[in-house]
Amino acid sequence: MKKILVIEDEDSIRNNICEMLQAEGFETIEAGNGKQGLQLAQSQLPDLILCDITMPELDGYGVLNELRVHPATQTIPFIFLTAKATKVDLRQGMELGADDYLTKPFTTEALLTAIATRLEKQLALEKKSLQKLDELRSQISHALPHELYTPLNGILGLSAFMLDEYDTVERDEALQILKEIHVSGQRLYRLTKNFLLYAELELMATNPDRLQTLQSKEIDTYSQPLIYETAVQKAQRADRVADLQLDLQGTIVHISEANIQKIVEEIVDNAFKFSPPGTPVCVSDSVQDNWVILSVSDRGRGMTAEQIANLGAYMQFERKLYEQQGSGLGLAIAKRLAELHGGELRIESSPNQQTIVRVVLPGRK
């Protein structure tokens, strides 16, 4: 049985609506003002909310604004019941996240149709979320074991060889084996850190208090030295210093050094990883309306529009066709970091031609 919260300060209207809904098999909760309605919404978590606009203590706009701030209530379908139906009123409600408007007086048929439409839409969204969760589980089950086992097997295999052949291995050969063990260890360490970081960022995105703490600690950072040093380091590790092209203006970003460095590290690493040696990787920055735009382009295999739309943490596209190392976490981490700071990550790509990743970040405060 679906549970509907009715927030209406006129007793007769509220009682009529509740009786109507109960007759149709719905469970109803009643609130005579916005403040009481908000409390019931947060404690009862109804399947849908019907709410008047003009009410004492807290109006309908205030109720909706509070609900959309908190993760537990931000996706509950919300329908305004109001005598106010001007374009300005409609726009204000829709901007706050209202799902629909019903103008008083309305018929039983109109009310039930609006409710059915919103509940069906919510069901479709929930099914899509479950589908994405299943896909995420599948991606984790395929990507994580492979990404962990590959460097781990390298460490175990090479160290076992050294233990067995310690007395016969030449110095130069032993040094090369130790270097390979070290590289595998570094890869395993970075992968583990990225998985933990991504999990932390996802939790932060659903916790307003943790998000506020993150944002309160951010400071204005002069980005040029960080971008330059990080990009050059990545080029050196990929043995592609000649391919790196830098066009840095010297911008100020309102984000910590550690976070801007992580963003640059991941998108530049991704560009080198998925483009062939001898092709350029271009890194540039610019300022537009107090937003800093960091751009990284490469001429690798690229991504389709569908792949860009489905960008996810544990997705490494076309793994069967390409064997580049990587769990696919890099772009997801950069994207989430940008979003947590009020920015965004955009991708423009033509498969097998060019890919441009643009990260938009807040400028000087």
Given a contact cutoff of 8 angstroms between Cβ atoms, the answer to whether 311 and 229 are in contact is no
Q: Is the pLDDT of residue 238 over 70?
A: yes
Predicted confidence band at 230 (pLDDT cuts at 50, 70, 90)?
very high
CA 73 centroid distance within chain = 19
pLDDT tens per residue across span 244-256:
999 998 889 888 8
What gap in Å lies between CA 335 and CA 324, rounded to an integer?
21
The highest-level CATH class for domain 3-106 is alpha beta
Q: What is the pLDDT of residue 278?
A: 96
Q: Which of 87-101, 116-130, 235-249, 272-286 has the lowest mean pLDDT?
A: 87-101
Copy the structure tokens of residue 161.
């060889």
Q: What is the pLDDT of residue 106?
A: 87
Whether pTM exceeds 0.85? no
pLDDT tens per residue across span 67-117:
888 877 888 999 988 876 666 666 666 777 788 888 888 889 999 999 999
Q: What is the pLDDT of residue 103?
A: 84
% of residues, the chain, pLDDT over 90:
44
pLDDT tens per residue across span 160-209:
999 998 888 888 999 999 999 998 898 888 888 888 888 788 777 766 66
Given a contact cutoff of 8 angstroms between Cβ atoms, the answer to whether 18 and 28 are in contact is yes
What gap in Å lies between CA 289 and CA 293, rounded to an integer?
10
What gap in Å lies between CA 161 and CA 169, rounded to an integer?
9
274 vs 129, which has greater pLDDT? 274
Q: Does domain 212-362 have CATH number 3.30.565.10?
A: yes
pLDDT tens per residue across span 139-162:
555 556 666 777 888 899 999 999
196 vs 291, which has greater pLDDT? 291
Measured N-to-C along each axis, helices 257-273 and 224-237 cross at an angle, to the nearest 10 degrees, of 30
Q: How far is CA 5 from CA 25, 81, 125, 329, in A?
A: 14, 12, 20, 41
Phi, psi of 274 (to 5 degrees): -110, 25
Q: What is the pLDDT of residue 126?
A: 78
Q: Where are the domains of the chain?
A: 3-106, 137-208, 212-362
Q: What b/e readout covers 96-107, taking b as 16+ CB neighbours within 10 angstroms?
A: bebbbbbeeeee
pLDDT tens per residue across span 317-363:
444 333 344 446 788 889 989 988 889 999 998 888 899 999 999 98
What gap in Å lies between CA 300 and CA 322, rounded to an integer?
12
